[in-house]
Amino acid sequence: MNEQSNASVGTSPYVSVRWQGDTLGQLELLDQTLLPESLQMVPIQSVEQAHEAIVSLQVRGAPAIGIAAAYAVLVGMQSLVRRRAPIDESVQQARALCDYLATSRPTAVNLFWALDRMRRIIDRNSNVATAVELANQLLREARQIHDEDRRMCHAIGEFGASLFEHGSGILTHCNTGGLATSEFGTALAAILTAHYQGKQIHVYADETRPLLQGARLTMWELQQHRVPSTLICDSMAAQVMREGKVQYVIVGADRITARGDTANKIGTYGLAVLAKHHQIPFFVAAPSSTFDLSIVHGADIPIEQRKPEEITCAFGKRTAPESIQVYNPAFDVTPSELISAIITELGIIHPVDEDRVRRVLSK
Q: Which residues contact 315 (CB under 8 A, 6 or more apart)?
A: none
Give the DSSP per-residue string, 97-155: HHHHHTTS-SS-HHHHHHHHHHHHHHHHTTTSSBHHHHHHHHHHHHHHHHHHHHHHHHH
For residue 262, the tally of other CB atoms under 10 A from its CB is 30
Specify the DSSP element, H or E, that contains 263: strand 262-265
114 HSE (CA, 13 A, CB side): 33
- 254 labelled catalytic: yes
Q: Which residues contact 312 (CB under 8 A, 6 or more apart)?
A: 318, 319, 320, 322, 324, 326
User: Of 149, 254, 292, 332, which is the active-site residue?
Assistant: 254
What DSSP character marks residue 35? T
Give the DSSP per-residue string, 201-248: -EEEEE--TTTTHIIIIIHHHHHHTT--EEEE-GGGHHHHHHTT--SE
Q: Quickly list H helices, 278-353.
A: 309-312
CB 19 within 8 A of CB 41: no
Specify the DSSP element, H or E, that contains 170: strand 169-172
Q: What residues are annotated to the active site? A: 254
